[in-house]
Amino acid sequence: MPKNRNTFSSLAAWRRRVLAGAVQSGWRWVQRTGAVTAESPGRLRFRSIGAGTRLAFPQGTVFGAPWIELGEYCIIGEQVTLTAGMMPDLDLGPDPILTLGNGVVLGRGSHVIADTRVSIGSDTYCGPYVYITSTNHSYDDPHQPVGKQWPRTDPVEIGPGCWLGTGAVILPGARLGRNVVVAAGAVVRGDVPDHAVVAGAPARVVRRWDAERGWQPPLRTPAPVPIPEGVTPDDLRALAELDLALEPDES
């Protein structure tokens, strides 16, 4: 009897493995097929979508696509919201409302809400759950619910080469310069100069680059060593395998 139970248990485990493999393969097929690209835009008709740009499946809420410009080689993660206008089916005029430069990365679950002009510069990377909005609720009238009062809008501009950490919030009217670092969870409003690091809620500058003195305050960690010119991915894999082979055997 124990032998039969072991046989049935092994068969059930085998069936679960086969089923899990089939489900996982099916989901990968759905993800590949459901991704949005310039060649396969599906129902979305963006004002422009550059070569190599990909919106992962499943997409978040997307509307106002005719007023959204996506540059080349952008990576838009799963469940990312991209909206132009306060609601679908509005005529927003002749000009784009939301613009992403080349090589922009928006992490999973991020939101870019462009009720008025929002631009994100080339090679800006956003971690997951970043929130960028050109609209905020107003609360001028103390006798009306906040949600029923007309919101305020102000354009947002994010310069090229920035890094926005997980959960960062960029508020209406924010203008970030070139190569700005926004710490995780920071809430940014107003102007941020080039080559600055901001943190906190509200965010403030905690480090800046000075042409004569370098980073102030000085960086606490050494700069990463760049990969030498001419080194290929195959070279790096071979080096990693060599390191593993040279590790002492502790068994």
Query: pLDDT-based confidence at 250, cuts 50/70/90?
Result: low
The more confidently predicted of residues 6 and 153 is: 153
Question: Which 8-state DSSP code applies to residue 85?
Answer: S
The more confidently predicted of residues 24 and 242 is: 24
Query: pLDDT-based confidence at 28, cuts 50/70/90?
Result: confident
Output the pLDDT for position 5: 63
Question: Which 8-state DSSP code applies to residue 66?
Answer: G
Give pTM, 2 decimals: 0.83
- Kindly state the tokens that stand for 165: 């950490």
Strand order from edge to edge, sheet including 62-63: 62-63, 81-84, 111-114, 131-133, 169-170, 187-188
* Separation of alpha carbons 29 and 196, rounded Å: 42
Highest mean pLDDT of the ranges 7-16, 186-195, 213-222: 186-195
* Separation of alpha carbons 75 and 77, rounded Å: 6
What would you measure as the largest C-alpha separation in the chain, in angstroms? 81
pLDDT at 10 > cutoff 90: no
